[in-house]
Amino acid sequence: MNPEPTRGLIASPTPAAQEAAAQLREMYHWVEPERADMIVVLGGDGFMLQTLHAMLERRRIVPVFGMNLGTVGFLMNEWRPDLLEDRISRTRAFAVTPLRMDAETIDGERFSLPAINEVSLLRETRQTAKIEVMVNKHVVLPELVCDGVLVATPAGSTAYNFSAQGPILPLGSAMVALTPISPFRPRRWRGAILPEKSRFTLKVLDPAKRPVSAVADQREVRDVARVEIGIDPSCTLTMMFDPDHALDDRIAMEQFVI
């Protein structure tokens, strides 16, 4: 017989999440997260992203089941403490493959960071950014004049990408979104949907005069000169959802939210 899976519990430091964690610890058996086969996460979307990034940094990735005790909770399930073991046994699992951002600053420093939602380049001053956009080593936009530009995964397509008028991508579509942020030239360009295997190179033109920062989810690198972005298949994450609250359905339904 296969041994019963072991579960770990991680909670946001907010009072609501800590109170919920205390309740669950009295109801179920838990092990230290470092020894667990799967993790229950209590908090909001931001805390879920923080937890997933911590897994990527440690290179110890296990399935996660989140329950919302935050604000939006798009990446979370409903908070319900009862019948948790049965509930987890009926979940649907979804693979989420993050992006990898390799950034070089104007001083020559290099940073390599994962992004579960998106990588965004943003102007640092009142002057617009000027960015050369390359896809698979081909220059597709010699000069994009804008507030910024981002590359989003399907899981992140309903977040900053959607607020920037980018498309919602179905989970499992194997596509990524390339979306401008307040484009000035070319004014009519609204972005592109490209295969997830695409590699993007974003070169900042005149980076000293028009400085640009690069952000991988919540981690920022300032004064970048060049950023390369692509899917990192070596770091696939697994997120678990209730059958009636599955991530693919939620992403698809966002297209009809007014």
Measured on CA atoms in the order 27, 32, 36, 38, is the torsion positive or negative? positive
* Catalytic position from the list 45, 102, 206, 244: 45
Q: Which of the 8 DSSP states describes residue 13?
A: S
Which residue(s) pair with 11 in the sheet? 42
Is the CB of residue 113 less than 8 Å from the CB of residue 142? no
Tell me the C-alpha distance between 68 and 81, whole Å. Answer: 11
Tell me the C-alpha distance between 174 and 82, whole Å. Answer: 36
3-state secondary structure at position 215: strand
Q: E strands, the chain, where?
A: 7-11, 38-43, 64-68, 92-96, 99-105, 110-115, 118-123, 129-135, 138-146, 148-152, 175-181, 192-195, 200-204, 212-216, 219-221, 224-231, 237-241
Binding residues: 45-46, 117-118, 147, 155, 158-163
Active site residue 45: yes
Active site residues: 45
